[in-house]
Structures are given as C-alpha cells and as structure tokens.
Structure 1
C-alpha cells in the first residue's frame, strides 16, 4: 500500500509566502493560501499550524535562480530563510528552480474574469507555489535515464 504524500510548496518573497499543497497521491498541486509576512516568528507560527493540519512531511522551496543559472542576491536570501525554517520546523526540504513561476502564474490567472495583477498579488504567489510544487511532483514521477536502464528487459 502506498503511503499518503503530504508536501507543501513555498514561493517565498519579501512580503508574502505563497503556499500550495498536493493531493495524497502526489499527482496534483493546488494553491492553498498566501501568508503576509510580518516577521520570522509569525511566519513560523502560521506554517506550524498548516503543517500540523495537513500532516506535512516535506517542504519544496522555490529557488529564484538567475537566468544564467546562478544564485543571485534574492536566491541567497531565500536560501538563508529556508535554512532558518528548516532548523525550527525540522522537516526535510528540497529546492526547485522557480524561474518565471510568478510570470506563468500571472499569465494563467489573467484568463479569469476580474483578475488584476496589481490587486491580486497574493493569488499570484499561491499559484506560483502550486507551479513550483507541480514541477517537483512531475520530476518525482519521471524516471531518470539511469532508472530506465535498470528496468528489466522484456526482450528475449
């Protein structure tokens, strides 16, 4: 029997943290909420409540690499913040390249009637977190070339 998967995806920004979760099978990521950041302690308290309610076992953090693939100033800040979170929450974390996730989230949301990028920034952040988490879920399901080579052959 497969164990239920409970993972949160986080899109960490200066003002907000977009949060997404996945279904128990690990197929679909959906936006959950956006935390308005007021301070590290408050952020942690809100995350602890959500983690307990959802029985979360892993956090997936969006890492904003520069277009050249390097970790810039913002990426280093998020990495430091994530390390602080990990010390307090004591949950394993994985990082996912989040380049352009907010732009993709905004593009998807623009199709919704009444959506305003200026007014609905929190919605963009939660959807960006869902894109980050979905990317991680998809990577988990896609076997690597090495795994493909290790599969038993049906050819005799």
Structure 2
C-alpha cells in the first residue's frame, strides 16, 4: 500500500503519493478547493486514494515557529479529520514548517517562471511533506 501526502491551503491542496516501497514521494496534482464555501473536494482525494491504493494520508501541519497552532494549522486538523470521518483513511499530521518556502526556493533555483511556479508549488510542497515523513520512517 502507498501513502499520500497533502499540502492543504485555503484555495488548493497539493497531492503527492509514495512509491509502493515507501521510499520516494512523487507529485500527483493540485486540487482546487474553496474553504470558504465548504468545497473540500474529498471526492477527488478519494478517487486518487483508490487509484493509487493509499492506506494512509500525511497531512501537512503548519505550526507557527514558536510551536503554537494558528488558523492554518487548525484548518489542516479539520481537513485531516474530514478525511478520516468521511473516507475512513488513517491520517497523520506532519509538521511542515517552511515546506512551501523550501519548495519555492527549489523552483526559483531551477529558474521556473512565476506562472509555472504558481501551478506546481503546492504539489511540490506535498512532495516535501511526504518525503519528510517517509525519511523519518527509515
């Protein structure tokens, strides 16, 4: 079974999936959501989970630098609970402080245009979240 990684934002969710052995994370897609309208696209998460035979989801947990939980962290906690309650898939919250900034830096160093960066930044952050979790399991 594989593991899915999610970078949850207010407008998008970046998705990554592990290989079958749980060694590497690959970006899958970025899903548009609308947090304000309550459109969390769990249907698409479920489709991807079935397609990739996922049995666990790692949800990025953006804590503040002083280790407190702010509004984005609370939103990630709620999203993880929705996945568990509605899809029945085990979730783990994973500290993802600075993952989006690190992904942005990598894309800048690769000279990716601003327009293309906007399209892939969340997916890349999901890869970094999932890879961090996978590396910690070794």
TM over 0.5: yes
1:112 aligns with 2:107: no
What does residue 151 of structure 1 align with? none
- Is this contact kept in 2: 1:62–1:96, CA < 8 A? yes
Normalised TM-score (structure 2): 0.91
Shift of 1:81: 2.1
Q: How many residues get paired?
A: 136
Matching residue within 47, 50, 61 for 1:49? 47
Structure 2: state its 5+ residue gaps: none
What does residue 66 of structure 1 align with? 64
Shift of 1:95: 1.1
For residues 29-108 of structure 1, what are the structure 2 equivalents within 5 Å?
A: 29-38=25-34, 40=38, 43-108=41-106
Alpha carbon RMSD of aligned pairs, Å?
1.6
1:19 aligns with 2:9: no
Deviations 1:32-65 (CA, angstroms, capped at 9, x unpaired): 1100114655611111111111011000000000
What does residue 140 of structure 1 align with? 137
The 3-state SS of whatever aligns with 2:137 is helix
Q: Distance in 2 between matches of 1:128 and 1:85?
A: 19
- Is this contact kept in 2: 1:18–1:122, CA < 8 A? no
What does residue 154 of structure 1 align with? none
Moved over 3 A (4+): 38-42
Shift of 1:27: 0.9
Structure 1: state its 5+ residue gaps: 142-156
CA pair 88-40 structure 1, distance change in 2 beyond 3 A: farther
The 3-state SS of whatever aligns with 1:120 is helix
